Amino acid sequence: MNVTSAPPATAPAAVPALDAPAPAGGPVTRYARGAGVLVTALGVLGALPGATSNYGAMGLFRSDAHLFGLFTTSATSASLQVLFGLTVLAFSGSPRQAHKAVCWTALAYLVAAVAGAGLVVNSPSPVLPVNVAGNWLHLGLGLALAVGAAAARRRHVAELGVF
């Protein structure tokens, strides 16, 4: 009796489900981590006496202190920067959450730029510490974060095929 064995059946290659979550890591999470570190660092610098001139005049809301001698800062604005940066870092584990966190942070900066421009022009004594240089900084950061998040998402899809 000659028993021949059939060749082993090959298992089909694993195909990811369409609703499977995007893999961790990749361009979006790397970008979010970098953005989170940058925003956190700016907030910490805004609270350091060496980086902030006229540090003794820093108030909770109103302030005559200036980051790098240029951007008006206060204890509240420095704290918000740190909070935004740490939030982005906290959500940078998942590509989708990281992208959302960076986009919301970008939107907050853009709103701050528009609101600050209105306060600089229309208020002789604003509640928030704003100046023209700070408004440009907020506008630039908001646009850079938004454009960077979109580019990172495109790279993520191109490299990994899923988002």
The DSSP line for the chain is: ----PPPPPPPPPP---TTPPPPS-SHHHHHHHHHHHHHHHHHHHTT-TTTEETGGG--SSS--EEETTTEEE-HHHHHHHHHHHHHHHHTTTSHHHHHHHHHHHHHHHHHHHHHHHHHHHH-SS-SS---HHHHHHHHHHHHHHHHHHHHHHHHHHHHHS--
Q: What is the pLDDT of residue 118?
A: 79
Predicted local distance difference test score (pLDDT) of residue 107: 96
Q: Is residue 69 part of a domain?
A: yes
Bridging pattern class, strands 52-53 and 71-73:
unpaired
pLDDT along the chain (163 residues), means of 10: 59 51 76 96 89 80 82 86 95 94 96 82 65 88 96 93 78
In this structure, is residue 57 part of a structural domain? Answer: yes
Tokens describing residue 13: 């290659």
Identify the pLDDT of residue 53: 84
Q: What is the chain's alpha carbon radius of gyration, rounded to the nearest angstrom?
A: 24
Count of domains forming the chain: 1
Any domain includes 7: no
3 within a domain of the structure (yes/no): no
In a domain, 6, yes or no: no
Give the pLDDT score at 75: 85
| 86 part of a folded domain | yes
The predicted pLDDT at position 30 comes to 94
d(CA 142, CA 163) in angstroms, rounded, equals 23
Domain, as residue range, for 95: 27-160
Domain contains 50: yes
- Please check whether residue 19 lies inside any domain of the structure: no
Instruction: Tell me what pLDDT residue 143 has.
Output: 97
In this prediction, residue 29 carries a pLDDT of 94
Tracing tokens 């022009």 back to the chain, one arrives at: 121
pLDDT on residue 31: 96
